[in-house]
Amino acid sequence: MRIHLFVPCLVDQFYPGVAVAMCRVLKKLGVEYAYLTDQTCCGQPAFNSGYHREATELAERFLKVFEPAETVVAPSGSCVSMVKIFYPQLELSPAGKRTLERLGPRLFEFSDFLVRELRVVDVGAQFRGKVTYHDSCHLLRELKIEEQPRQLIRNVHGLEFVEMDDMQTCCGFGGTFAVKFPEISTAMGTDKAAAIERTGADAVVANDSSCLMQIAGILSRRKSRVVPMHLAELLAQGI
């Protein structure tokens, strides 16, 4: 199978290791991947802030860049839901609409791609330690992806999986919310970090780098020993 990588701007700029790890896992599973180097941002920050004109421009651009792709995989529930769920709410050009209609169903979030498309739950990864999982809101409530990441985590060799309290409660990132209401956002993140620490886990895994940016920022400020990790990074351990 051959896919195109969709590497969201946040991953590209701040967490390239996540995309690198994703490539390693895909390679191990025999998936060929290509990267369209003109890709930038899907437009979500503009859309979530109410700026539909700017969001539409970036959506058109995204669809044009990904025009050559047949199947697309991204390590982010948030950016995937932007394209799949929210692009249809924008006033797109006929060409953009056509690409979206074709590409939308073939755009996958990483864990969903592994479990439902490749039908793989054990990638052969190894990790010694206790791991807990945070349900990212877009992944859970827009894309309804709940079990796939858990199946993948549970099948990592040597790993002990533990659920945290309120695992489906928002970490407080929320895009521009995090900077518009930093106090509320930080308060939410602090409660999330406390729930993570209560599990006694060595690592907390999530599927969205945006949530991880928030969680890592709080854990680091708390001088916590818990390591934040993207699912792709966990699955690349030992392979």
Partner 1 sequence: MITGPIKFKEAARRNLAAQDLRENLRRATSHSTTLRLKAVSAVPEWEDLRSEAHAIKKEAIDHLAEYLERFESQATEAGCKVYWAETASQAAEYVVNVCRQKGASLVVKAKSMTSEEMELNTALEGASIQPVETDLGEFIVQLAGETPSHITAPALHKSRTQIGKLFSEKLGMNFSDDPKELTRAARAILREKFMDAGIGITGVNFAVAETGSLVLITNEGNGRMCTTLPRTHIALMGIEKVIPRFDDLRVFLKLLARSSTGQKLTSYVTILNGPREARETDGPEELHVVILDNGRSQLLAHPHTREALYCIRCGACLNVCPVYQRVGGHSYGWVYPGPIGSVITPELQGISQAQELPFASSLCGHCSAVCPVKIDLHHMLLWLRKSAVDSALTSRGERWIIKLFAATMKRPGLYRWSGMLGWMVQRILAPRGKGLRVPCWSAGRDFPPLPKKSFHQLWEEGEIN
Q: Is 93 helix (H, G, I), strand (E, B) or coil?
A: coil
Strand, helix or coil for residue 176: coil
Residues in 121-140 that interact with partner 1 by CB under 8 A: 137-138
Structure tokens given for 201: 């886990």
Residue 48 C-beta: closest distance to partner 1, Å: 7
Nearest distance from C-beta of residue 11 to partner 1, angstroms: 7
State the CB neighbour count (10 A cutoff) for residue 213.
17
**Residue 217 interacts with partner 1 (CB under 8 A): yes or no:** yes
Residue 29: CB atoms within 10 Å = 16
Could you give the residue ranges of the DSSP H alpha helices within the chain? 9-14, 16-28, 44-48, 52-65, 77-81, 94-103, 110-112, 137, 147-154, 177-180, 182-198, 209-221, 231-235
Instruction: Select from 2, 13, 158, 225 the one that contacts partner 1 (CB under 8 A).
Output: 13
Minimum CB distance to partner 1, residue 16 (Å):
4
With CB under 8 A as the contact rule, the residue among 30, 50, 68, 94 that binds partner 1 is 50
Phi, psi of 96 (to 5 degrees): -60, -45
Question: Cβ atoms within 10 A of the Cβ of 94, count?
Answer: 7
The span from the CA of 117 to the CA of 168, in Å, is 25
Binder of partner 1 out of 28, 29, 57, 104 (CB under 8 A)? 57
Residues 171-190 binding partner 1 (CB under 8 A) are: 172-190
Q: Does residue 116 interact with partner 1 by CB under 8 A?
A: no
Report the C-alpha gap between 50 and 73 in whole angstroms.
26
129 versus 182: smaller Cβ distance to partner 1: 182
Number of residues that bind partner 1 (CB under 8 A): 66
Q: Which of 3, 19, 69, 120 binds partner 1 (CB under 8 A)?
A: 19
Which of 25, 170, 196, 205 is the binder for partner 1 (CB under 8 A)?
170
Which is closer to partner 1, CB of 34 or CB of 162?
34
Residue among 99, 102, 90 nearest 64 (CA): 99
- In the list 3, 25, 47, 76, the residue contacting partner 1 (rule: CB under 8 A) is 47
Which segment (30-38, 106-114, 125-133, 230-238) binds partner 1 by CB under 8 A? Answer: 30-38
CA distance 209 to 78: 9
Bridge partner residues of 205 (DSSP) = 133, 229
Residues contributing to the site for partner 1 (CB under 8 A): 7, 9, 11-17, 19-20, 23, 27, 35, 37-41, 43, 45-52, 54, 57-58, 61, 86, 137-138, 141-142, 168-170, 172-190, 213-214, 216-218, 220-221
